[in-house]
Structure 1
Amino acid sequence: MKKLKTLMKFAIGIYFIISCSGIVAQDAVKIDPDHYKVEIDNDKVRVLRINYNPGEESQMHVHPEGVAVFLTDHTANMKTGDGKSMEMKGKAGDVLWVDKAKHQPKNTGNNPFEVIQIELKNSNIAGKKSLHLFKLPDGMTEKQLSEFLNEMNKAISDEGYPGAGYHLYKITTDNDEYTYFMEGVWPDTATYDKIHNSEGWKAAAEKGKDMVDKIQAQELYLKAEKIN
């Protein structure tokens, strides 16, 4: 199972910065459709495929919080909404949790780079998220996993939290390392703990224990908690 690199905390702080300036930035897809393509868009999530050829630069734009999956090595310059500029470099396979951002990237390397960015739409509901990237294990079908998650969500709703639970998305990329993205949405840590200790949740989880164990054996897993 691939683990997040220790540089992640540093990269989160400098790579995706929330601007405090008054400059109005626009949605990346609307302002720069040459570099930003929508793969999935629904009421829970938007998934973007981002491509930059060497020397190409975007315009200042914004992204909500989410997850960035780097499919290639990359060398870039990042201008931020507060007028700063920084150099950045990373490897294919880097996966970062990213806060709401205002920036203007430029590919300063000699090769194209590609990123999948998963933008979350329910940040006003969730104070805590669990994030899972994985390939569907051998012998498991998408239908089986979806039905299991529906049972889990019913147990969570029965506990009195219909807004919490799990959402499953398929990722379409040229890189087959991760093919599914699962998001767990929780109001806060106390609720997360209460739900996971409830008899209903435990009973539903036990039914899919073998399925969960197979996913956990090879997934990339990350927890994120809202701090302001």
Structure 2
Amino acid sequence: MKRLMNILKSCLVLLILTNGLKLTAQDATKIDPEHYKVAVDNEKVRVLRINYKPGEESKMHSHPEGVAVFLTDYKANMTGEDGKAMEMAGNAGDVVWVGPSKHQPKNIGNKPFEVIQIEMKNKPMAAGKKSLHLFELPEGVSEKQLNDFLKEMNQAISDEGYPGAGYHLYKITEKDDKYKYFMEGVWPDSETYDKIHNSASWKAMADKGKDMIEKIQANELYMKAEKVK
């Protein structure tokens, strides 16, 4: 019963810390590689191995929804975006579902603790805003080159705390004398669209692909659309 109460308390703390947060913090593995290591990374999940020694503290970072598996007993302070810290504690073997979160953990126990965190990638996002691009590939730009660039761009967007947002490239299968490709930008809402496009990582990636994108934009059909509520 005591262990069950600890798990429930941990779930409650994590839900409070993640409720209503706008995820703009950086990827934990990029901002704090000392404590966060990638064990598995594929199209469906990313699995992190997390280690903290007594007294060690991270930097503010974000995670998508997923599952935390505690390999050791733990006692930690979880500081949210508002600066308020809440204590959570439990035992080795605890398995906790966590929503999208932005936090800064600190080990306040007298022993190291270790966690396996499984981050989900396959949750469909309800897009409130889309950008639509119809175009033909310009001379000097290949399908693979563009698709690889969009994957890098999407990773930068995910690292900003917005997994699911980003760009998708399609090849038009019906005969069309003008357009051969369709690119879709998917965004949660207009506010998030603006935040992503004003972020340093998005601007850096956009600058990296500037020449290629400008060639595409010269002859594309471009539209923005918002979901009808």
Task: Report the TM-score when normalising by structure 1.
Answer: 0.50
Task: Report the TM-score when normalising by structure 2.
Answer: 0.50
